[in-house]
Structure 1
Amino acid sequence: MISIDRVDHLVLTVADVDRAVEFYEQVLGMTPVTFPGDRRGVSFGAQTIKLHSASELVAPTATHPVPGSANLCFITDNALSEVQEHLRAHEVRIEEGPVSRIGSNGPITSLYLRDPDGNLIEVARYDEAE
């Protein structure tokens, strides 16, 4: 039996790496990073999202890597009213929320939006943090 400790990084296939970096930096407050070979991504906490262009995939890759096929949930310490205000200021449409959901560690309240590639992004706050 093996034991998995945590997620280190995720890879998103995107249509335009520059546009994706700008969104994740400006809208979600992540930090742009550059890897060897001029590969790019964003980081937050101890995690990284590597961004691979659909036109220049890096092997090995998923079986069907296409932009807009991910569904990701990010946890914030900010009040969701602040998140809503920030999203409006960046002209990002909230698709749903605030709504109650269950996260890995209990009840959360979530907002749903989409990144430039159409990936579903959930920004949530654990309810006991309110």
Structure 2
Amino acid sequence: MDSKETPPPLPISSVNHISLLCASAEKSVEFYERVLGFVPIKRPGSFNFDGAWLFNYGFGIHLIESPQAAAQLPKKDDIDPQDYHMSFQTACQDVDDIEECLEKLGVRHKRVQVEESGILVDQIFFHDPDGFMIEVCTCDNLPVVPLKSAPSTLMCHHSQSTFVCSQQYARCPGSSAAICSNAMTDLHETSL
């Protein structure tokens, strides 16, 4: 190999987990279970620090409890869509149900809509107990358009028409089942 030749990218296959510092693993677990449907899973017993592992949607969230976290993490009051965040694709196109559920759960949020070439993307932003921002969106509406030559794995982008509208979700407390408004699929009863 020529010393000037760029080596190929690392051979990775998917996102495994993200790690978040938290002031209280118990409060954070409750939030990620109740609001986003993550499930606590067993973590290695050899860890000498407090925390929790959660899993759903094909990846994990690893919470690392830090006694200093409350002081280290900036308290976020404003919901700024341009701040660090992780994003979840909603199972159906209508985010009104997501917004209604967040209201019933008492979670402050901000709704934004962006447009690109006539395509609309709805986004809802909110914070976890430690101020880390989370987005739920219809980002799958936008096509993936590489700006340069891209590996074939990039093009394995799931369209909303083949996504998970037929799956059942944990109901939002006090909410009835909603009808998926995704016009590209048959109507499926889903609940948030």
CA–CA distance in structure 1, aligned partners of residues 137 and 40 of structure 2: 22
TM-score by length of 2: 0.53
Q: Relative contact order (alpha carbons < 8 A, sep ≥ 6): 1 or 2 greater?
A: 1
Aligned to 1:74: 88
Letter aligned with residue 28 of structure 1: L
1:93 to 100, 105, 108: 108
Aligned to 2:137: 124
Q: Aligned-residue CA RMSD in angstroms?
A: 2.7
Q: Is the 8 A contact 1:12 1:70 kept in 2?
A: no
Aligned to 1:33: 41
CA–CA distance in structure 2, aligned partners of residues 70 and 55 of structure 1: 22
More strand by share: 1
Q: CA deviation at 1:71?
A: 1.5
Is the partner of 1:118 in helix, strand or coil?
coil
Q: CA deviation at 1:55?
A: 2.4
Is the partner of 1:121 in helix, strand or coil?
strand
2:63 to 51, 60, 72: 51
Deviations 1:7-54 (A, max 9, x none): 111100111100000001001111122312274122112100000012
Deviations 1:51-75 (A, max 9, x none): 0012289xxxxxxxx5469521111
Aligned length: 118
Aligned to 1:10: 18
The 1:101–1:93 alpha-carbon spacing in structure 2 relative to 1, beyond 3 Å, is: farther
**Structure 1 gap segments, 5+ residues each:** 58-65
Query: Greater Rg, structure 1 or structure 2?
Result: 2
CA–CA distance in structure 2, aligned partners of residues 107 and 11 of structure 1: 31
The 1:56–1:47 alpha-carbon spacing in structure 2 relative to 1, beyond 3 Å, is: farther
The 1:84–1:52 alpha-carbon spacing in structure 2 relative to 1, beyond 3 Å, is: same
Letter aligned with residue 111 of structure 2: G
CA–CA distance in structure 2, aligned partners of residues 117 and 101 of structure 1: 31
